[in-house]
Amino acid sequence: MITIASSEFSQEKLDFIDIGGGSFSPMRPELQAQFPFKVPSFEEYGHAIASVFARAYPEQNGPELILEPGISIAANTMQFAAKIIDLKPAGDRLIALAAASQYDIKPTLSPRNLPITVYSSAAENMPAQRQTFDIVGSSCMESDCLYRGYQGELKPGDYVVFDNVGAYTNVLRPPFINPAPPILSYSSKHEVKVIRRRETTDDIFSGFPFPALGAGAPPFLKDCFWFRLAWAPPFFPAENRLPRAGNFTILPLTPFASIIKSSSLSNCSRIS
């Protein structure tokens, strides 16, 4: 950056130099060990950057130095707790199904295992198994693995707490299968506050301007399926249809179950 500034702006007095972000945050040793190099500390970053700028601008009138350390500051500020729902074999491996998704803890889909702590349930009717598990998510995606190769005891009802989940998890997590969990703040005085409540279906669909159906119509997206069709499917009984709303045909949910089993949907000119 200093070289570029000197060569491209040699005739100008720069107001600032922005070196961006991408620096590491503090992390537990088991996560550091998964990188092929030593993870720098904040002090080491500061020494490396400041020494270069001090040599390039020995006077006090150099450009302002701007850093963008958002991810490095936020990454280790949050933890994520996921409940183990079931244990079962899958081919040649054992999996522990969690009520969560990898998007809750690492939405950039990093292959690295985040540091975890397992809190055992007190349920006596669920004996723990000491095995090697892959802890997987509930998104129905084959790649949805929260932790590979956990060695230890697990049973349904246990909670797995993941560290270093403060970066991007709240903004990149898709509203798929499971709604976004609540965010709680736990203070040094053992006080718990709700920072964000649990996401609901109404939250997800609140931005869709569905046309009104009039008095007596079923609630949106609870009793109906909405099809964007050029016409109402002729195979759907007329007595079960609701009034058209714009270019939408509204189909009540109950009779739809039998329709989806047939091949008649191929008659639809468009579904979106």
What is the fold, at CATH topology level, of the domain defined by 78-196?
Answer: Lyase, Ornithine Decarboxylase; Chain A, domain 1 (2.40.37)
CA-nearest of 51, 48, 47, 45 to 68 is 45
Domain boundaries, the chain: 2-74, 78-196, 211-267
The model carries a pTM of 0.70
Task: Give the pLDDT score at 244.
Answer: 46
Name the band, by pLDDT with cuts 50, 70 and 90, for residue 208.
confident
Check residue 115 and give its pLDDT.
95
Q: What is the mean pLDDT of the chain?
A: 78
Q: Specify the pLDDT at position 247.
A: 44
What does the pLDDT look like over 28-80, one tens digit per residue? 999 999 999 999 999 999 999 888 888 888 877 788 889 998 888 888 889 99
At residue 135, the pLDDT reads 96
Please give the torsion angle defined by the CA atoms of residues 31, 127, 121 and 183, in that order, rounded to the nearest 10 degrees: 50
Q: How far apart are CA 81 and CA 116, in angstroms?
A: 9
Q: What is the pLDDT of residue 175?
A: 82
pLDDT at 212: 52
pLDDT for position 211: 59
Name residues whose C-beta falls within 8 Å of residue 187's C-beta, 6 or more positions apart in sequence.
193
Report CA torsion sign: 221, 83, 115, 80: positive
* Mean pLDDT, residues 232-239 taken together: 50
pLDDT digits (tens, 9 = 90+) for 68-116: 988 888 888 899 999 999 999 888 789 999 999 998 999 888 899 999 9
pLDDT band at 146 (very low <50, low <70, confident <90, very high): very high
Q: Which residue has the higher pLDDT, 237 or 131?
A: 131
What is the C-alpha to C-alpha distance for residues 252 and 223, in angstroms, rounded to an integer? 6
Q: Exposed, middle or buried, 69 (CB in 10 Å: 0-12/13-18/19+)?
A: middle
